[in-house]
Amino acid sequence: MKNIIISDVTLRDGNHAVKHQISKNIINIYSKFAEKNKIDILEVGHGNGLGASSLTIGRAKVSNSDSIKIAKKNLKKTKLSVHSIPGFSTLDDVKSAIDNGADIIRVGCNSSDIDIIERQILYCKKNKVESWCVFMMFHQIYKNNRYISVIKNLKSLGIKTFIVMDSAGILLPHDIRKIFTRLKKLKVVSGFHGHNNLGCAAANTLEAINCGAKIVDLAIRGFGAGAGNTQLELIIALLKNLRITNKFDVREFYKMSEKFNNILYKNNIYYKDIFTNPISISTGLNGLFSGFSSKIKLFGEKYNVSPFDISDLAGEKQLAAGQDDLLMNIAHNLSIKSKK
């Protein structure tokens, strides 16, 4: 048996699947479920984390502060985490999250911009709050093994936990094997956050566990950006079936999986198809943030151009999360070009 830490991101990454409209009632219901069913960590907030609610990215129905407060009152053994991307978030946002009860600050950034996390990490260290480094768009520093030197440098700041976030859903099981075998040699606590663009989220998660990952990010029914996250109830069932851990009552997770749709509908929230589709496959292969899928579809229809052309050009430009407005520019330019 292994001591695998389950980090449930349903109420944060799952917000992408419903245009950031998760309500106070849903946070209240789901946080009670997480506590009752021994979820180790529950993450809440806007899909892009602290400070990200905006017209461009999407307005959240519930503020990050209120999300934290509502969840915290229902959690005793389950820890509460938030996602913080410097640039979207400020030190004031981090301070507010800590003051309202966040136990873990997961400081993330696109892997090519890793230098910008230092201030928030040091702030958490000064205030004796646990902080993790989340490598978003991990594939950007995977091919040249840059992550090895990056982790060695970040360890000097006192960071002990590193999360590999496959934001594009582009990694395959053999990639995961290489990555986590190397991370194990670096003697750090490692975790994996998968997306299902190429249909490998579950396989990648199991491979990460087999190769030493201690933490896995999961969401009920796979709710998350684009093609969705690794499916919580599926992994819980597999962990029991493979005799990796016997900590959870699988039937309770099955029940919540069935119940969650009804909870959304009763709150007048209707989600889009989170499962992998041609656009999500295309964004995955192009190494794009999974949350771009819905915007690419929207702009393709608005400007009457191929969403796959938008995806290809965005991939060439290596657009990152938060650059949603540039997708519209690409679509607009393609439209003008097609009329010439």
DSSP E strand stretches across 174-236: 189-193, 215-218
- Is it the case that residue 114 has pLDDT exceeding 90? no
User: What does the pLDDT look like over 318-328, one tens digit per residue?
Assistant: 887 778 889 99
- Is it the case that residue 108 has pLDDT exceeding 70? yes
The residue annotated as part of the active site, out of 16, 139, 193, 195, is 16
What's residue 273's pLDDT?
60
Average model confidence (pLDDT) for the chain? 92
Which residues make beta-bridge pairs with 82? 105
pTM of the model as a whole? 0.88
Residue 16 annotated among the catalytic residues of the structure:
yes
For residues 321 and 293, the answer to whether their CB atoms sit within 8 Å is no
Quote the CA–CA distance of 324 and 321 in Å, as a whole number: 7
What's residue 262's pLDDT?
87
Quote the CA–CA distance of 165 and 215 in Å, as a whole number: 12
Burial class (CB in 10 A: 0-12, 13-18, 19+), 303: middle
Q: Backbone dihedral region of 169: left (phi > 0), alpha (psi from -120 to 50 degrees) or beta?
A: left
Binned at pLDDT 50, 70 and 90, residue 340 comes out as low
Tokens of 190: 């490692």
Q: What percent of the chain has pLDDT over 90?
A: 73
User: What does the pLDDT look like over 145-156, one tens digit per residue?
Assistant: 888 988 988 888
Element (H, E) at 165: strand 161-165
Question: What integer is the mean pLDDT of 222-238?
Answer: 93
Name the residue among 200, 208, 205 with its Cα closest to residue 184. Answer: 208
